[in-house]
Amino acid sequence: MATGSWQTPLRTFGLGVVGAGVTYALGFPAPFLTGPAMAVTLAGLVGLKTAALPQRARDAVFVILGLTIGQGVTPEVFDAMRAWPVTLAALAASLFAIIFVTRAVLVRFWSMDRTTAFLSSSPGHLSYVLGLTEGVKADLKTVSIVQSIRVLALTLIVPVALTLTGQIPEKAAEAPLETAPVPLIAMIVAGGIAGYLLQRLKLPAAYLIGGMLVSIVAHVTGLVTGVMSFWLAAAAFVALGGLIGSRFSGVTWPELSRAFSAGIMVTGLGVILAGAFALIAHWITGMDLMVILIAFAPGGLETMAAMAVILGIDPTFVATHHIARLLMLTAIVPVFLLSGRRS
């Protein structure tokens, strides 16, 4: 590839790095994703030329993102899941309710196509959903805004609420041990091979899913321990944020306003439906309603797990249900997209 063809993508990546630095300093949620997305979006809105990384580089980014997403699935998670069948079943039912009710509302009142509405309604798994959007016929700009509103609203409201109550943890959690270089490189190579094979099978976001599958198998079997290199994961999220932002070139303010209102609706309706199923699970099991509400909330895993610690709630229960939600969405979303293609 000619050097000149890399100039705009590298400049876009640089803008993303600046955006990530600003949002990290301000304490924004998911700063390495939301910051670059906002910075590159604003650059496009004011007329600067932006562009995503070339396709092969994007494939590598999605492999790393997939490995990062899959690292939270461990044998301990599956052991814990067997202890709470009723609440996990209620959680699964809430996911289907949130997805299909909010999708119907988006199609009916926001005139979205079914695929864009479906991806916009997914209650979680932000980077995974945005990665899938890259590989299907959907409006990435709309999905990005709607999903970002959901993440920002739920992840910002919880810390603010805790700040108002004065219940802030004194110490941050220790950084987890990173995977050693050799097994990390082996997983990246294996994820790339898996992604290539899945791409041949016409699976959407093949490299993202390939990386996830390799990471899940490696961690569940105990072949690999630790988490993705912080800087490698951060660079991948910045690249994804730049990809998201670069798609906003030419977007109008009315389009932004329309997607913003859809994001508010998706967030509010998702919280209401999650609360309803949490109440049902509470009636059946007799467990504390607040515990189930936090476990069912369609927000970020890290924020909700931290809230559980602060309130003295079993963090394993909360984390297990949020990881289960991500696993369920991992299975549900591609199946729907493939069925939509065939129909």
Question: By mean pLDDT, which of 205-209, 230-234, 284-288 is the weakest?
Answer: 205-209
The whole-angstrom separation of Cα 272 and Cα 301 is: 19
Pair of tokens at residue 224: 């690999």
Q: Residue 343's pLDDT is what?
A: 56
CB 42 within 8 A of CB 87: no
The answer on pLDDT for 341 being more than 80 is no
Between residues 170 and 14, which one has the greater pLDDT? 14
Q: Let me know if residue 42 belongs to a domain.
A: yes
Q: Let me know if residue 12 belongs to a domain.
A: no
Q: Let me know if residue 10 belongs to a domain.
A: no
Number of helices and strands in the chain (H, E): 15, 0
Q: Let me know if residue 9 belongs to a domain.
A: no
Q: What is the pTM of this model?
A: 0.71
CB 175 within 8 A of CB 219: no
Question: 56-107: per-residue pLDDT in tens?
Answer: 999 999 999 889 888 877 787 777 778 799 999 999 999 999 999 999 999 9
Of the candidates 334, 332, 329, 288, the residue with the CA atom closest to the CA atom of residue 311? 288
Q: Residue 209's pLDDT is what?
A: 84
Residues facing 103 on adjacent strands? none
Pair of tokens at residue 339: 């069925």
Pair of tokens at residue 113: 């196509």
Q: Residue 307's pLDDT is what?
A: 60
Question: 16-49: per-residue pLDDT in tens?
Answer: 999 999 989 987 767 888 788 889 888 887 878 8
The answer on pLDDT for 129 being more than 50 is yes
Between residues 340 and 192, which one has the greater pLDDT? 192
For 127, 205, 234, 235, 236, the CA distances from 65, given in Å and listed in that order, are 8, 11, 10, 10, 6
The total number of residues shown for the chain amounts to: 343
Element holding 318 (H helix, E strand) = helix 315-342
Between residues 150 and 5, which one has the greater pLDDT? 150
The answer on pLDDT for 1 being more than 60 is no
Q: Let me know if residue 173 belongs to a domain.
A: no
Residue-range definition of the domain harbouring residue 56: 29-168+181-338
Q: Answer positive or negative: Cα dihedral of 135, 138, 144, 148.
A: negative
Q: Let me know if residue 8 belongs to a domain.
A: no
Pair of tokens at residue 326: 């991500």
Indicate the number of domains in the chain. 1
Beta-carbon contacts of 49 under 8 Å, excluding residues fewer than 6 positions away, are 8, 249
Q: Let me know if residue 280 belongs to a domain.
A: yes
Q: Residue 92's pLDDT is what?
A: 96
Q: Residue 170's pLDDT is what?
A: 47
The whole-angstrom separation of Cα 94 and Cα 100 is: 10
First to last CA, the chain: 38
Between residues 149 and 134, which one has the greater pLDDT? 149
Q: State the average pLDDT for the chain.
A: 83
Q: Residue 167's pLDDT is what?
A: 46
The whole-angstrom separation of Cα 128 and Cα 139 is: 15
- Kindly indicate the confidence band of residue 191, based on its pLDDT and cuts at 50, 70 and 90: very high
Q: Let me know if residue 192 belongs to a domain.
A: yes
Q: Residue 27's pLDDT is what?
A: 78
